[in-house]
Chains A and B, each alone.
Chain A
Amino acid sequence: MTGRKLLMSFPVTPTSHLLSEVRARGGYETLKKVLTSMTPEQVTKEVTAAGILGHGGAAFPVGRKWSVVHLNDGQPHYLCANADEGEPGTFKDRWILENAPHQLVESMLIAAYALQVRNAFVYIRGEFDLPYRRLQGAVDEAYAAGLLGEKILGTDFSLDLVVYRGAGSYVCGEASALITSIEGKKGYPRNRPPRLTVRGLYQRPTVINNVETLSNVEIIVRLGAEEFRKVGIAKSPGTQLVSISGHVEKPGVYEVEYGYPLAKFIYEDCGGVLGGKGLKCIIPGGISTKVLTAADIATVTYDHKAMEAVGSQVGSGGMVVIAEGTCMVRLLQVMLRFYHHESCGQCTPCREGMGWLHRTIDRIVAGKGRPEEIDTLVRISEANDGTTICGMGDAAGYATVGIIAKYRDEFEYYIANGRSKNGGRLEVDAIEREVAHA
Chain B
Amino acid sequence: MPDFFINGQPVSAAKGQTVMQAAEANGFFIPTFCWHPHLSVSGNCRICVVEVEGEGGGGSWMEIACNMPVTEGMRVLTDSEAVRARRRETLQFILLNHPVDCGICDKAGECTLQDHHYELNGLPSVSTIPKVHATKYFDLSSRIVLDNERCIVCSRCVRFTREISKSNALGIQNRGDSSLVRPVENSNFEADPYSDNVIDICPVGALLSKQFLHKARVWYLKATPSVCPGCSRGCTVDLWHRKAEWKLNALDPRENTAIARVTPRENPAVNGPWICNKGRDLAQIFERPRAQQALLKGQPAPLADAIAAARRLIGEARRPAALVSNWGSNEELAAFKAAFGDRFECVVKSDWHAMPGERLEDELLIRADKNPNTRMAQQLFGDEPRLVPVDADLVLVWGEGASFANLPRGAKIVLLGSYLAPENGHAEVFIPVSIQTERAGHYTNFAGVVSRFEPIVRKKDGVAHAEQLFAQLAATAEAIA
- Write the residues of chain A forming the contact surface with B, with a CB cutoff of 8 angstroms: 169, 186, 191, 193, 340-349, 351-356, 359-360, 363, 370, 373, 376, 379, 383, 386-389
Contacts and interface: CB of A to CB of B under 8 A. Distances in A.
Interface in B317-338: none
A342 B174 CA distance: 10
Interface stretch (B127-135, B278-286, B371-379): B127-135
B46 A343 contact: no
A359 B64 contact: no
B172 A349 contact: no
Contact of A345 (B90, B126, B128, B174): B174
Contacts of A191: 41, 43, 64, 67
Given A343-B176, A345-B177, A349-B93, A193 B67 contact: yes
A186 B170 CA distance: 13
Chain A binding surface SS class: helix
Interface residues on B, range: 35 or more
22 contacts: A191-B43, A341-B175, A341-B176, A343-B177, A348-B44, A348-B45, A351-B93, A351-B179, A352-B177, A355-B97, A355-B177, A356-B96, A356-B129, A360-B129, A363-B128, A363-B129, A376-B127, A379-B89, A383-B93, A386-B61, A389-B43, A389-B44
Nearest to A350: B176
Nearest to B97: A352
A342 B176 CA distance: 7
B19 to A, nearest CB: 12
Contacts of A340: 176-177
B86 A376 contact: no
Contacts of A343: 175-177
Contact of A342 (B89, B129, B175, B179): B175
Ranked nearest first, the 8 interchain pairs of A and B with the lowest CB-CB distance are A345-B179, A383-B89, A343-B176, A355-B177, A352-B93, A191-B43, A347-B44, A345-B176
Contacts, number: 98
B90 A387 contact: yes
Interface of B: 41, 43-47, 49, 61-62, 64, 67-69, 86, 89-90, 92-94, 96-97, 126-129, 132, 152-153, 171-172, 174-179
Contact of B45 (A347, A359, A370): A347
A345 B178 contact: yes
A379 B96 CA distance: 14
A243 to B, nearest CB: 26
B126 A387 contact: no
Given A359-B129, A363-B129, A388-B46, A344 B175 contact: yes
B126 A344 contact: no
A370 B128 contact: yes
Given A348-B90, A353-B93, A383-B86, 13 more contacts: A186-B171, A191-B43, A345-B153, A345-B172, A345-B174, A345-B179, A346-B153, A347-B46, A348-B153, A356-B127, A373-B128, A376-B128, A387-B62
Contacts of A359: 129
B151 to A, nearest CB: 11
A354 B177 CA distance: 8
A353 B132 CA distance: 12
B64 A354 contact: no
A383 B90 contact: yes
A415 B4 CA distance: 51
